[in-house]
Structure 1
Amino acid sequence: MSDTARDLRPKAGDSEKITINLGYVDLGHIDLLVDEGFYSNRTDFIRTAIRNQVDRHADVVRQTVTRKSVDLGLRHFSRADLEAAQAEGRMLDIRVLGLATIAQDVSADLARATIASLTVLGALHAPAAVKAALADRIR
């Protein structure tokens, strides 16, 4: 397999597992396309279908990201980032389309003192105590 093909596959930490329910006919269509060699497996088909739909609506996504001031991709918040905001007396309104992470050494108190709101379209990785402390601020 080429290096390029390997790079396109998400690493374990770069993806989220989701579960979907499909009707038998839809599942049969997917299996037929896999059997005919159009896709390597069901997951390959589903990922391709999702990417095609995201591409189809790319203009709307781009406009929305701009209008709502959303960070696109990966956004990490370290303890130093939050301490700097606290020192400046700023509260953060965090909006991320992708993956938002809050460092493991961020305390629940620091998170509550610096994060006014948290909206993540995708996934949020943060310590359980931080998620609990921000539960009323997560949209």
Structure 2
Amino acid sequence: MANNVHKLRDKGADLEKITINLGYVDLGRIDLLVQEGFYSNRTDFIRTAIRNQLGVDGEAVKRSIVRHTLELGLRDYSRADLETVKAAGEKLHIKVVGLARIAPDVTPELALATIESITVLGALQASAEVKAALADRIR
């Protein structure tokens, strides 16, 4: 029976939770649209509104990414990646729009030896120890 058990992917890996404050009138208007069946719930409405606005501003975002030489999407940094950087005597300047992940087996010492700076517009996933070690390098 144990052979049939498979670990499901962590639900939070693809999402970052945010909190917003809305006025009562705006919230009521959203609830009305949900009640009328235009959206399945408040979250569906808010995600749709955000995606629509990002589409409107899409060209500006693309130009900014090019100007700042940012990576777009998901960027993983494994222990092997950082050990290769260290062996080459180099340091990384991580710039990501989306999600940057530093592998759980990366030690604070290896991170300090290989990462000069981190700029993430989105979310950074790393162990608490690595985040603490790099605190002064995270912008």
Once the two structures are superposed, the pairs formed by residues 101-120 of structure 1 within 5 Å of their partners are 101-120=101-120
In structure 1, the gaps of 5 or more residues are: 1-10
Aligned counterparts of 2:56 and 2:67: Cα–Cα separation in 1: 19
C-alpha displacement of 1:76: 0.2
C-alpha displacement of 1:18: 1.1
**For residue 18 of structure 1, what is the aligned residue in structure 2?**
18
Structure 1 segments, 4+ long, off by >6 Å, are none
C-alpha displacement of 1:67: 1.0
C-alpha displacement of 1:19: 1.1
- Match of 2:135, SS state, is coil
Aligned counterparts of 1:59 and 1:20: Cα–Cα separation in 2: 25
C-alpha displacement of 1:37: 1.1
TM-score, normalised on structure 1?
0.90
- Match of 2:138, SS state, is coil
**For residue 40 of structure 1, what is the aligned residue in structure 2?**
40
Aligned counterparts of 1:85 and 1:13: Cα–Cα separation in 2: 26
Alignment RMSD (CA, Å)? 0.8
2:29 pairs with 1:29: yes
Once the two structures are superposed, the pairs formed by residues 30-69 of structure 1 within 5 Å of their partners are 30-69=30-69
- Match of 2:59, SS state, is helix
Q: How many residues align?
A: 129
2:70 pairs with 1:70: yes
**For residue 93 of structure 2, what is the aligned residue in structure 1?**
93
C-alpha displacement of 1:12: 3.6
In structure 2, the gaps of 5 or more residues are: 1-10
Aligned counterparts of 1:36 and 1:12: Cα–Cα separation in 2: 30
C-alpha displacement of 1:103: 0.3
TM-score, normalised on structure 2?
0.90
